[in-house]
Amino acid sequence: MPLAAEPDDALEEGENQQLLLATKGGPALEGLVVGSYCHDVLIRGGRVVGETLGGAAAFVSNVLDAASPREEEQEAAPFVVVSKVGRDFAYASAPAPARRPPLLCASPTTSFHAQFSEAAASAHAPDRELRRVRACDPIYPADLPDRRFAYGLAVGVAGEVLPETLERMIRLCRAVLVDAQALIRAFDGDGAVCHVSLEDTPYARLLPRVAFLKASSEEAPYVGVETARRRCCVIVTEGRDGCRLCWDGGEARVAPFPAVQVDPTGAGDSFLAGFAAGLLWGLSATDAALLGNFFGAAAVSQVGVPTFHPKMLQAVKEILEDKTTKRSSPCINGTTFTLEKSNMHDELHTALQETVRLMSEQQQADPANGNGGDICST
């Protein structure tokens, strides 16, 4: 599938061609993540049961830092986050800081209240109603860095990624991956989250210039998968059933990984970041979706932005290094994507599944030194 990003005449020709960021550990592909950090308040029975850092940018940067390929000397994966918060932002420093500094503005930080069902088995059961109670300023095209990037992720959660901002991303990035919630989310008079048809938004005309569009099974009817797949590759995440990729002329289903769900917040964001990391490792789109499913499952086992066990991350890195030894270059830096699964797809799934099993056994054997729910468990 061809990529639709196009050169920007406002940038120097040499800068258009240079998509590698020189880092201490050697050249690496630089990414651009656009979407705001949020305050998430978890409520049950009219009582606040938790407050956490939220927003897709927080979950995405967490997984990209954990899973992206880089040299050992590199302290962090090379990507830029453009996010806006107010001066009331509660996570600018430890113990749970935002991984990339946001832009400060006069309006308050975007805040969501997640109301969980009284009938739920636990305070963090998946049955919930999301309500936006405060909204920060949108992200404008002028807020984006004026240089080229290898890839971009548009991951708004509260309408902050404007159509003109997404268009600017497409011009700056060789490949753009978009979360459908950035395009179709709307809010009623009380701030409750609802959805609109993608075809009725200004974003629809941009789809042919997008590489991948991710939607949850709940969002898929508003995206119009059969129409959208003729313009770009659409990925529909289906929770415990894994995900499916749909493109013009083809479709693939990708198996899930077992998970004990504690809080569903950030599962889709973690999936998209894991998927992007898979492309950076040189996997085909369908193979990369395995890594997306893996990190999506890992994310739901904790409340808020998850902390991944170092041994788990090391095991995943070793698997990817073994499976991608012969890759010529990251798929995300090419002019086309390979969408179909490779002949190592099943082996990759088995290896990642084994990592889940071993980490789960280790946690059960030594709960005090386990991961505290950092990974999905059987």
Active site residues: 269
φ/ψ of 324, rounded to 5, equals -115, 20
3-class DSSP assignment, residue 131: strand
Cα–Cα–Cα angle for 10, 148, 237, nearest 5°? 125
Q: What is the DSSP letter of 109?
A: P
Cα–Cα–Cα angle for 267, 363, 372, nearest 5°? 50
User: What are 142's two structure tokens?
Assistant: 């002028």
Nearest to 263 by CA among 120, 140, 75, 138: 120
| CA 178 to chain CA mean position, Å | 9
The single residue listed with the structure tokens 């788990």 is 312
Torsion of CA 40, 44, 46, 48, to 10 degrees: -40
Total Cβ atoms within 10 A of residue 202: 12
Helix (H), strand (E) at residue 57:
helix 56-67
User: What are 216's two structure tokens?
Assistant: 């949850």
Q: Using DSSP bridges, classify how beta strands 26-29 and 20-23 pair: parallel, antiparallel or unpaired.
A: antiparallel
Nearest-angstrom CA–CA distance, 58 and 305: 7
Nearest to 31 by CA among 230, 197, 272: 272
Inter-CA distances, 132 with 40, 66, 136, 184, Å: 9, 29, 11, 15
Amino acid code (one letter) for 158 = A
Per DSSP, what are the bridge partners of residue 178? 154, 213
